[in-house]
């Protein structure tokens, strides 16, 4: 019996793509795969990666593949392996349809495989270019007596064509396309900067065709600018997580200075189909057409046609906000207010009321229709003297028609249970996972209403709903008072949900003063004592037990029991009294200078100090420090960039000998002092950097790069208005201004170095934890092997442990050197801040109060 497994229209659970399999005696294990597949990896012979559309006739490539042990055992003796090029095209129903097959190699024996793996080098045959479909994949097939037992594929490939053929294919594609305005409405704008895109976890995800962390101008092979048109190339691109009602998506690309690219082939564009929603439609409608019209064509007009039908997206600062909870629960609301709530029970974490409710009430009404609903469970630490709580469970649910609750819960035995509806999800690597493959560090599952992925290194879990909500859950191990696992939960929501949120993450409206709104509509000031916030805000968000979405293990407490705990539990509201020695040790761990008053601590330092004081668990405090630092970094990444007036188009048509004038005006929410500059202008144009006036008399002939212009804006962080002073006073003021500017520069450099060191310190802590766990596994193995006959392996284990011990010592040396440098930075910063305040006071006295306008932002 044979079974053909077709490629599905949606990215769901599949076995292997476009393969014919013999019915096995046992069922295959299903695994989530991306569009195409990377079961067969392909590289050029010089070890360069092959991208979609980058393959040409006569290219010399190397492929390698791995058959699992289970698959190998199903092969009869005498099974042979063939390598083929399988042509494919898009069928009328939107799925893949196979066409012709070209044999590349035949009769590779199973015995020649190395534990299922094989490398094969060959040249792409000329016959692939004669196919009518021009797309396909390389396929490795195991056959016995004409019966196919297994098949593995590369990702889908587009064959490079002659420019004339590419032009014809582009025009044919154009004739079948509707105008973009018929399908690209109601889509999110692009974040203005790469930092904003990184912070907008609710709405955008990294395009995997770009290498993470690269600043190479040619990093994103599909988004390289054309030098003859002065176009920037993308170093990173981000794809929208959500779609509109037409299943469309968008892509935003950023240059080496992390600025949004809005013109040329380096820019992102609107996609007729979002990749994760309709991978086949996206590939044929958005990717192959781009390759034909822009990469292979020799006619620039075909690329202009492509961007007319797939336009670039304008930038905006309305990307949404982030909030979260961590440690001995500390919260940051979506508008940035920080508070501590040690409730014991189950609470509404974030609720977003549906747009059908036109006037959201101030009082929370759980019976109304909600776009998104999430809840958390907090429990007391098992120590009566602490009276502190931690987060142990999260659940979220959108109002999608196919949606089911998705929960992450710490089980009684301190491991994670991840569920969707009544199904437990497996996000652990399998025995057949190839650790050398490029993407095995991330395991992801895709459903129609949400996506969940797990980072196998950090163990962080990210749940994303395409409506514009993303939740990041990080399990944290604690040692005091007893070993266990707690959850740090961070949220990111789209800007469209302003004025529509409820729960512990506050009222999201851009106004931090009203964040702590109780479920009854009462606004509590964040400056109120912790006990007031606890009783009049936090406790009011306990859930109705009849409306719980959370998961309950068999034999554990019920929702009604947790409601009773919320009513009865009284935590401590002040930190324990510390000895000077204890305070000094905690300050060192939390990177707090010894002479820095608590009122000057940032949220990361404050929560770290609190958690160690309460639990005496220094590792727990360090994780709170890292979580708080992440919130600070996210706030900085979300800093609003200056914006040009949006009434001006991104492109316009001009007529020969006509003069065109445009005034560019930009606004910033931080300052009124804006500086205009040009990165590129047509040779016969002028641009006034003070007023923003652009003028161009269009010549009869213009060079290619005169078709475009590019402007930039920047903010002044210090501006002195003209005032009437004596010459001596002016000289003094100028000197003071120069000193202030120099101090600002020093502060920025030190803060940048500080952030880099803190990041490096966090990496070292994670690396140290991995080594310690590895060391523990080896010690267990050593005990095991001493009871076995194989003494040779046992004798090698102490050597391995010695190597790990040496690496741990090296990590600690670097760690101590970083701490010493951070101490120096904190002392220097404190001195600089004092000096800066003195200088500003002197300057203020000289200028009196008539015309002094000083602006400085160092966070």
- Is 434 within a domain? yes
pLDDT of residue 717: 32
Range of the domain at 311: 181-316
Long-range contacts: 506-514, Cβ < 8 Å, 24+? Answer: 506/323, 506/333, 506/334, 506/335, 506/337, 507/333, 507/335, 508/321, 508/333, 508/334, 508/335, 509/335, 510/335, 511/335, 512/333, 512/335, 512/336, 512/337
d(CA 235, CA 248) in angstroms, rounded, equals 24
Rounded to the nearest angstrom, the gap between the alpha carbon of residue 825 and the centroid of all alpha carbons in its chain is: 30
Please, are residues 659 and 638 in contact by the beta-carbon 8 Å criterion? Answer: no
Please, are residues 50 and 62 in contact by the beta-carbon 8 Å criterion? Answer: no
Instruction: Mark residue 448 as left, alpha or beta (left: phi above 0; alpha: psi -120 to 50; beta: remaining).
Output: alpha
Answer whether residue 161 shows pLDDT above 90.
Answer: no
**277 exposed, middle or buried (CB, 10 Å; 0-12, 13-18, 19+)?**
buried
pLDDT of residue 150: 79
DSSP 411-431: -TTS-EEEEETTEE---S--T
45: confidence class by pLDDT, cuts 50, 70, 90: low
d(CA 572, CA 593) in angstroms, rounded, equals 26
Pairing of strands 13-14, 135-144: unpaired
Of the chain, the percentage scoring pLDDT greater than 90 comes to 23
Q: How many domains does the chain have?
A: 5
Tell me, yes or no, whether 674 and 808 share the same domain. no
Please, are residues 392 and 486 in contact by the beta-carbon 8 Å criterion? Answer: yes
Report angle CA 329, 335, 339 to the nearest 5 degrees: 25
Q: Which residue has the higher pLDDT, 65 or 422?
A: 422
Per-residue pLDDT averaged across 257-264, rounded?
86
pLDDT of residue 549: 96
d(CA 427, CA 441) in angstroms, rounded, equals 11
pLDDT tens-place string over residues 606-634: 889 988 888 888 888 888 888 888 877 77
pLDDT of residue 473: 93
pLDDT of residue 7: 29
Tell me, yes or no, whether 503 and 542 share the same domain. yes
Tell me, yes or no, whether 221 and 293 share the same domain. yes
Answer whether residue 474 shows pLDDT above 50.
Answer: yes
Dihedral pair phi/psi, residue 460, rounded to 5°: -70, 140
- Is 583 within a domain? no
Please, are residues 260 and 312 in contact by the beta-carbon 8 Å criterion? Answer: no
851: confidence class by pLDDT, cuts 50, 70, 90: very low
d(CA 262, CA 250) in angstroms, rounded, equals 13
Out of 48-52, 148-152, 169-173, 208-212, pick the least confident: 48-52
Final residue belonging to a domain, choices 158, 192, 218: 158
Tell me, yes or no, whether 138 and 269 share the same domain. no
175: confidence class by pLDDT, cuts 50, 70, 90: very high
Of the chain, the percentage scoring pLDDT greater than 70 comes to 69
* Residue 746 CB contacts under 8 Å (≥ 6 apart), including other chains: 832
- Is 388 within a domain? yes
Dihedral pair phi/psi, residue 425, rounded to 5°: -95, 145
pLDDT of residue 852: 22
Report angle CA 154, 159, 164 to the nearest 5 degrees: 170
* Residue 284 CB contacts under 8 Å (≥ 6 apart), including other chains: 89, 90, 135
pLDDT of residue 317: 66
- Is 117 within a domain? yes
pLDDT of residue 566: 92
- Is 256 within a domain? yes
Element (H, E) at 610: helix 603-615
pLDDT of residue 146: 81
Tell me, yes or no, whether 373 and 422 share the same domain. yes
Instruction: Mark residue 710 as left, alpha or beta (left: phi above 0; alpha: psi -120 to 50; beta: remaining).
Output: beta
Element (H, E) at 44: strand 40-44
pLDDT of residue 92: 81
Give me 470's structure tokens.
């993303």
Per-residue pLDDT averaged across 113-130, rounded?
76
The closest of 679, 662, 667, 645 to 259, measured between CA atoms, is 679
pLDDT of residue 541: 97
134: confidence class by pLDDT, cuts 50, 70, 90: confident
Tell me, yes or no, whether 349 and 495 share the same domain. yes
d(CA 322, CA 320) in angstroms, rounded, equals 7
Final residue belonging to a domain, choices 316, 347, 372: 316
DSSP 312-372: ---EES---EEEEEETTTEEE-TTS-EEE----EEEEEEEEE-TTSSS--SS--TTS-EEE
pLDDT of residue 515: 93
Answer whether residue 381 shows pLDDT above 90.
Answer: no
Final residue belonging to a domain, choices 574, 603, 628: 574
d(CA 389, CA 347) in angstroms, rounded, equals 13
Please, are residues 156 and 284 in contact by the beta-carbon 8 Å criterion? Answer: no
Tell me, yes or no, whether 53 and 136 share the same domain. yes
pLDDT tens-place string over residues 324-380: 776 668 898 988 888 989 999 999 999 999 999 989 999 999 999 999 999 999 998
Q: DSSP assignment, residue 126?
A: G
d(CA 423, CA 419) in angstroms, rounded, equals 6
Answer whether residue 404 shows pLDDT above 90.
Answer: yes
pLDDT of residue 15: 25
Element (H, E) at 694: strand 693-697
The closest of 407, 377, 408, 612 to 504, measured between CA atoms, is 377
Map residue 9 onto helix, strand or coil.
Answer: coil
pLDDT tens-place string over residues 543-572: 999 999 999 998 888 999 999 999 999 888
Long-range contacts: 179-186, Cβ < 8 Å, 24+? Answer: 179/309, 180/270, 180/308, 180/309, 180/310, 180/311, 183/244, 183/246, 183/248, 183/272, 184/244, 184/246, 184/248, 184/250, 184/270, 184/311, 185/244, 185/246, 186/244, 186/245
Q: What is the mean pLDDT of the chain?
A: 76
Alpha-carbon Rg for the chain, nearest whole angstrom, is 30
pLDDT of residue 794: 44
pLDDT tens-place string over residues 19-43: 222 322 222 222 222 344 456 666 6
Tell me, yes or no, whether 384 and 427 share the same domain. yes
Tell me, yes or no, whether 748 and 662 share the same domain. no
Tell me, yes or no, whether 271 and 341 share the same domain. no
Tell me, yes or no, whether 114 and 244 share the same domain. no
pLDDT tens-place string over residues 53-68: 557 777 777 878 777 7
Tell me, yes or no, whether 786 and 668 share the same domain. no
Instruction: For residue 737, give the CATH number of its domain.
Output: 1.10.287.2610
The pTM of this model reads 0.66
Element (H, E) at 123: strand 117-123
CB burial string 523-549: b at 16+ within 10 A, e below: ebebeeebeebbbbbbbbbbbeeeebb
Q: DSSP assignment, residue 517?
A: B
Per-residue pLDDT averaged across 464-478, rounded?
90
Answer whether residue 655 shows pLDDT above 70.
Answer: yes
3-state SS string over 210-252? CCCCCCCCCCCCCCCCCHHHCCCCCCEEEEECCCCCCCCEEEE
- Is 594 within a domain? no
pLDDT of residue 585: 93
- Is 637 within a domain? no
- Is 37 within a domain? yes
Alpha-carbon distance values, 74 to 17, 89, 150, 152, 434 (Å)? 19, 31, 9, 15, 20
d(CA 176, CA 34) in angstroms, rounded, equals 27
Map residue 737 onto helix, strand or coil.
Answer: helix
pLDDT of residue 548: 96
Please, are residues 655 and 662 in contact by the beta-carbon 8 Å criterion? Answer: no
Instruction: For residue 650, give the CATH number of its domain.
Output: 2.60.40
């Amino acid at each position: 019996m044979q079974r053909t497994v077709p490629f599905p229209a949606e990215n769901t659970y599949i076995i292997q793509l476009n393969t014919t399999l013999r019915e096995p005696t046992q069922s295959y294990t299903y695994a989530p795969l991306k569009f195409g597949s990377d079961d067969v990896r392909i590289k050029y012979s010089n070890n360069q990666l092959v991208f979609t559309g980058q393959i040409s006739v006569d290219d010399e490539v190397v492929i390698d593949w791995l058959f699992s042990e289970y698959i190998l055992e199903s092969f009869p003796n005498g099974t042979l392996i063939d390598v083929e090029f399988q042509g494919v095209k898009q069928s009328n129903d939107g799925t893949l349809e196979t066409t012709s097959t070209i044999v590349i190699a035949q009769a590779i024996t199973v015995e020649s495989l190395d534990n299922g793996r094989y490398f094969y080098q060959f040249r792409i045959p000329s016959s692939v270019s004669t196919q009518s479909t021009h797309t396909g994949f390389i396929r490795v097939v195991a056959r016995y007596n004409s019966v196919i037992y297994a098949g593995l594929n590369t990702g889908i490939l587009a064959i490079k064509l002659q420019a004339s053929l590419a032009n014809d294919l582009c025009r044919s594609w154009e004739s079948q396309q509707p105008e973009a305005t018929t399908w690209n409405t109601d889509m999110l704008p692009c974040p203005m900067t790469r930092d904003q895109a990184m912070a907008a976890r609710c709405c955008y995800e990294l395009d995997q065709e770009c290498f993470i962390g690269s600043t190479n101008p040619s990093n994103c092979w599909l988004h390289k600018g054309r030098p003859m048109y002065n176009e920037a190339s993308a170093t990173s691109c981000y794809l929208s997580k959500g779609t509109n009602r037409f299943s469309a998506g968008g892509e935003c690309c950023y240059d080496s200075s992390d600025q949004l690219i809005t013109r040329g082939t380096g820019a992102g564009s609107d996609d007729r189909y979002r990749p994760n929603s309709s991978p086949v439609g996206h590939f044929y409608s958005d990717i192959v057409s781009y390759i034909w019209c822009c990469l292979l064509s020799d006619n620039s007009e075909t690329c202009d046609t492509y961007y007319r039908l797939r336009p670039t997206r304008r930038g905006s600062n309305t990307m949404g906000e982030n909030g979260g909870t961590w440690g001995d629960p500390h919260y940051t609301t979506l508008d940035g207010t920080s508070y501590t709530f040690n409730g014991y029970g189950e609470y509404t974490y974030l609720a977003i009321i549906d747009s059908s409710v036109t006037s959201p009430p101030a009082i929370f009404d759980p019976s109304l229709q909600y776009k998104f609903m999430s809840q958390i469970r907090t429990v007391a630490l098992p120590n009566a003297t602490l009276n502190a709580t931690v987060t142990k469970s999260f659940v979220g649910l959108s109002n999608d028609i196919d949606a089911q609750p998705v929960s992450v819960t710490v089980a009684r035995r301190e491991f994670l249970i991840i569920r969707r509806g009544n199904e437990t999800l497996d996000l652990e690597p399998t025995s057949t996972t190839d650790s050398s493959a490029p993407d095995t560090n991330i395991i992801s599952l895709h459903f129609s209403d949400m996506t969940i992925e797990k980072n196998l290194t950090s163990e962080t879990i990210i749940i994303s709903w395409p409506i514009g909500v993303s939740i990041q859950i990080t399990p944290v191990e604690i040692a005091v008072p007893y070993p266990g696992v707690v959850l740090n939960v961070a949220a990111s929501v789209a800007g469209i949900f302003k004025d529509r949120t409820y729960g512990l993450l506050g009222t999201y409206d851009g106004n931090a003063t009203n964040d702590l709104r109780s479920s009854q509509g009462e606004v509590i000031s964040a400056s109120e004592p912790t006990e007031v916030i606890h009783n009049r805000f936090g406790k009011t968000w306990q859930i109705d037990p009849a409306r719980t979405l959370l998961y309950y293990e068999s034999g554990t407490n019920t929702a009604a029991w947790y409601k009773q705990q919320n009513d009865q539990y009284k935590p401590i509201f002040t930190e324990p009294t510390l000895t000077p020695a204890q305070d000094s040790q905690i300050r060192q761990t939390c990177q707090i200078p010894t002479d820095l008053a608590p009122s000057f601590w940032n949220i990361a330092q404050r929560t770290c100090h609190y958690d160690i004081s309460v639990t005496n668990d220094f590792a727990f405090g360090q994780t709170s420090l890292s979580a708080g630092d992440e919130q600070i970094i996210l706030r900085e990444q979300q800093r609003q960039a200056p914006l040009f007036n949006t009434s001006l188009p991104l492109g316009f048509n001009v007529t020969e000998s006509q003069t065109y004038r445009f005034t560019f005006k930009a606004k910033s929410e931080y300052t009124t002092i804006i500086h205009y500059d040009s990165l590129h202008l047509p040779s016969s144009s002028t641009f006034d950097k003070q007023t923003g006036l652009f003028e161009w008399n269009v010549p009869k002939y213009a060079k290619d790069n005169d078709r475009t212009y590019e402007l930039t804006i920047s903010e002044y962080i210090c501006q002195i208005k003209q005032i009437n002073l004596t010459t001596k006073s002016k000289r003094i003021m100028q000197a003071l201004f120069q000193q202030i500017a120099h101090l600002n520069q020093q502060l920025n450099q030190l803060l940048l170095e500080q952030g880099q060191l803190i990041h490096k310190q966090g990496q070292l802590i994670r690396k140290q934890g991995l080594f310690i766990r590895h060391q523990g596994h080896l010690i267990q193995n050593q005990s095991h092997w001493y009871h076995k006959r194989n003494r040779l392996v046992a004798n090698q284990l102490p050597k391995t442990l010695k190597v790990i011990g040496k690496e741990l010592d090296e990590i600690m040396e670097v760690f101590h050197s970083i701490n010493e440098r951070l101490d120096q930075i904190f002392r220097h910063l404190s001195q600089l801040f004092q000096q800066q305040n003195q200088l500003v006071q002197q300057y203020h006295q000289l200028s009196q109060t008539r015309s002094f306008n000083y602006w400085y932002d160092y966070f």
